[in-house]
């Protein structure tokens, strides 16, 4: 049996609660974050997901943004500021 269910590797880990911001790995076991570290061996996980170039925030389920649209500017549903900011 593998030690972890998932290993998210090479992501930018942002953890403001613990004052951490570095490139590393996040391991998941069941529905819990099991380990956050700069190096974890891939063979310890059932599934390895390379998230190079992406941000991962351990313990946060859903991040989203609230952007006030200027009144009277005619911004419609096609104007998705969150997608522009996040680059998606």
45: in domain: yes
Q: Evaluate whether residue 44 is within a structural domain.
A: yes
What whole-number percentage of the chain has pLDDT above 90? 43
Query: Which one of 17-21, 51-55, 66-70 scores highest in mean pLDDT?
Result: 51-55
Question: Mapped to the 3 state alphabet, what secondary structure does the chain carry?
Answer: CCCEEEEEEEEEEEEHHHCEEEEEEEEEECCEEEEEECCCCHHHEEEEEECCCCEECCCCCCCCCCCCCCCCCCCCCCCCHHHHHHCC
Query: For residue 78, is it within any domain?
Result: no
For residue 55, being part of any structural domain is answered with yes
pLDDT band for position 34 (cuts 50, 70, 90) = very high
Count of domains forming the chain? 1
| Inside any domain, residue 69 | no
**Mean of pLDDT values over 13-37:** 90
pLDDT band at 73 (very low <50, low <70, confident <90, very high): low
Residue 80 predicted with pLDDT over 80: no
| Assigned domain for 29 exists | yes
Residue 73 falls inside a structural domain: no
CATH code for the domain of 30? 2.30.40.10
């Amino acid at each position: 049996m593998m030690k972890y269910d998932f290993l998210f590797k090479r992501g930018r880990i942002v953890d403001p609660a613990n004052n951490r911001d570095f490139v590393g790995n996040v391991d998941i076991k069941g529905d819990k974050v099991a380990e956050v570290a700069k190096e974890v061996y891939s063979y310890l996980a059932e599934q390895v997901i390379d998230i190079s170039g992406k941000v991962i925030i351990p313990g946060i389920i859903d991040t989203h943004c609230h952007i006030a649209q200027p009144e009277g500017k005619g911004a419609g549903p096609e104007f998705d500021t969150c997608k522009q900011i996040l680059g998606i």
